[in-house]
């Protein structure tokens, strides 16, 4: 492949980002794409854990189709951008990356450029109209067809080169029927020993919050049969996985729309009873679907870790109503207080939006007081971003940008203060830490997470990724901890 100009992401130390996930596909027979030497595929992932898992599925499918993963986009025959559209900024980043890919395509016409994920579903054919060199665009529902779509790209190119017809660019968007949708099961290769893994339990969302584009780019909610989930977790445990995070847009509504299947709380119990998994987490939850049976799981399930990501978005009931969140501040705090009563050591994280249309100083102050009342161990906060198709775009966005930015800074300063105080309280504790990474600079310097999902840096000679070890916390930063091996 010809030499290519440098592409850098401001967040990534390697060119164009790095996704370390490369998993073997265990879902369908291998499909070989007609090619000469083995192709190399590069994927850049934008967004959440769901997108990370989607990228793992695509890499897995590509492996079966004869591709090798590369962390260098300049060495790739396929560059795939897996996108997020939850905020407008993510869409702009995609456009910027696509613009920087144009010279690569000019230098190597055989390069395949693809866009997958939520922006692909949002923009559809508009992407290929704006970027004529874009070969393939497909939405989240079409991931399992990736090898076939790449074969179609190659066939269209052949037709164009041989003059049979004008080559068509490949577009696959829209949602499969509920009964036809299948989840891709991914397991690590036998020689790999990952510490933790994601497992999809559902896709889509039926809540239609006024600010959220997810239902329009991920489709309606579909839950995966629980036995498939149990089987996948058992396969992961056999390969050395210690911790699993169950993924869904609204995990605690799992099974509610599948007649005859089990509830989310029952699924958590099944994982504890029918697998040998050591640690279990899940994300993301909706407060309206948190019932007593889920609280019971936190209190009684031996592998469910005592950390709960529970978005509240706003502390103001007026704003919550405009957001169509279907709960009140009082109801949210009831859940938090009941969990604290039943599980005294539980910790909370959350999502918050500032500057939602019509948000007043008083509305924002109510958000700050809720943060103080709960005492979140971490939070993810964002300025409201109008998204297409959502009902909130019909509300006048009357909060000035400078006010939004100031509120976000105030909120994040408070978050840092609360997190630092919470972390300082950890000093002196001994925690069971799952080792997730070993630093290249020192084989004894490790990074892992406590049951409360706090990052810890420590030295433990002879220990390695995937082990759970006791660590005494010796120092705290606002967003991480330091410790020493407590053998």
For the chain, how many residues are written? 487
Q: What is the model's pLDDT at position 49? A: 87
For residues 30-48, one letter each, b for 16 or more C-beta atoms within 10 angstroms of the residue's C-beta and e for the rest, the string is: ebebeeeeebbbbbbbbbb
- First-to-last CA distance in the chain? 51
pLDDT digits (tens, 9 = 90+) for 361-402: 999 999 999 999 999 999 999 999 999 999 999 999 999 999
3-state secondary structure the chain: CCCCCCCCCCCCCCCCCCCCCCCEECCCCCCCCCCCCCEEEEEEECCCHHHHHHHHHHHHHHHHCCEEECCCHHHCCEEEEEECCCCHHHHHHHHHHHHHHHHHHHHCCCCEEEEEEHHHHHHCHHHHHHCCCCCEEECHHHHHHHHHHHHHHHHHHHHHHCCCCCCCCEEECCCCCHHHCCCCCEECCCCCCCCEEEEECEECCCCCCCCCCHHHHHCCCEECCHHHHHHHHHHHHHCCCCEEEEECCCHHHCCCCCCCCCCHHHHHHHHHHHCCCCEEEEECCCHHHCCHHHHHHHHHCCCECCEEECCCECCCHHHHHHCCCCCCHHHHHHHHHHHHHHCCCCEEEEEEEECCCCCCHHHHHHHHHHHHHHCCCEEEEEECCCCCCCHHHHCCCCCCHHHHHHHHHHHHHHHHHHHHHHHHCCCCCEEEEEEEEECCCCCCEEEEECCCCCEEEEECCCCCCCCEEEEEEEEECCCCEEEEECC
Segments of the chain with pLDDT less than 50? 1-37
Q: What is the model's pLDDT at position 243? A: 97
Q: Which fold, 430-485?
A: OB fold (Dihydrolipoamide Acetyltransferase, E2P) (2.40.50)
Q: Which fold, 178-424?
A: pyruvate-formate lyase- activating enzyme (3.80.30)
Domain extents in the chain? 24-172, 178-424, 430-485
* pLDDT > 70 in the chain, percent: 87
Q: What is the model's pLDDT at position 487? A: 80
Q: What is the model's pLDDT at position 194? A: 83
Q: What is the model's pLDDT at position 2? A: 38
* Residue 418, strand partner residues: none
pLDDT digits (tens, 9 = 90+) for 141-184: 999 999 999 999 999 888 877 777 677 889 999 987 766 567 77
Architecture of domain 24-172: 3-Layer(aba) Sandwich (3.40)
Q: What is the model's pLDDT at position 28? A: 32
């Amino acid at each position: 492949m010809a030499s290519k100009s440098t592409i850098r992401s401001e967040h990534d130390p390697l060119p164009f980002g790095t996704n370390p996930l490369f998993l073997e596909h265990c879902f369908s027979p291998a499909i070989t794409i007609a090619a000469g030497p083995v192709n190399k595929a590069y994927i850049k992932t934008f967004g959440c854990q769901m997108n990370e898992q989607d990228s793992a599925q695509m890499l897995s499918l590509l492996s079966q189709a004869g591709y090798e993963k590369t962390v260098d986009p300049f060495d790739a025959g396929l560059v795939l951008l897996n996108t997020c559209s939850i905020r407008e900024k993510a869409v702009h980043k995609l456009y910027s990356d696509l613009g920087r890919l144009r010279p690569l395509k000019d230098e190597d016409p055989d390069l395949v450029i693809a866009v997958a994920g939520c922006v692909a579903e949002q923009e559809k054919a508009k992407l290929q109209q704006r970027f004529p060199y874009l070969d393939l665009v497909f939405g989240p529902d079409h991931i399992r067809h990736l090898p076939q779509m790449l074969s179609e790209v190659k066939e269209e190119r052949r037709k164009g080169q041989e003059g049979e017809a004008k080559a068509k660019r490949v577009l696959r968007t829209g949602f499969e029927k509920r009964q036809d949708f299948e989840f891709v099961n991914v397991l690590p290769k036998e020689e790999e020993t990952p510490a933790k893994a994601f497992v999809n339990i559902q896709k889509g969302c039926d809540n239609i919050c006024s600010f959220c584009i997810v239902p329009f780019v991920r489709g309606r909610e579909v839950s995966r049969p629980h036995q498939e989930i149990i089987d996948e977790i058992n396969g992961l445990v056999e390969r050395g996985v210690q911790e699993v995070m169950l993924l869904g847009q609204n995990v605690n509504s799992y099974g509610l729309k599948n007649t005859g299947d089990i509830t989310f709380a029952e699924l958590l119990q099944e994982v504890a009873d029918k697998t040998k998994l050591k640690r279990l987490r899940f994300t993301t939850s909706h407060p309206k679907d948190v019932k007593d049976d889920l609280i019971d799981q936190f209190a009684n399930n031996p592998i469910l870790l005592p950390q709960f990501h529970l978005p509240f978005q706003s502390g103001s009931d007026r704003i919550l109503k405009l957001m169509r969140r279907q709960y009140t501040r009082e109801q949210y705090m009831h859940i938090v207080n009941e969990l604290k009563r039943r599980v005294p050591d539980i910790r909370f994280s959350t999502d918050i939006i500032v500057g939602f249309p019509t948000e007043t100083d008083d509305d924002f102050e109510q958000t700050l007081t809720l943060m103080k009342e709960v005492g979140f161990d971490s939070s993810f906060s964002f300025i409201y971003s109008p998204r297409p198709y959502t009902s909130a775009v019909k509300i006048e966005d009357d909060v000035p940008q400078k006010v939004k930015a100031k509120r976000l800074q105030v909120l994040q300063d408070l978050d840092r203060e609360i997190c630092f105080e919470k972390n300082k309280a950890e000093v002196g504790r001994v925690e069971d830490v799952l080792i997730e990474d070993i630093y290249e600079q020192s084989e004894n310097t490790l990074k892992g997470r406590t049951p409360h999902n706090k990052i810890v840096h420590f030295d433990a000679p002879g220990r390695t990724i995937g082990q759970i070890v006791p660590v005494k916390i010796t120092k705290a930063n606002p967003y991480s901890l330091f410790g020493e091996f407590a053998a």
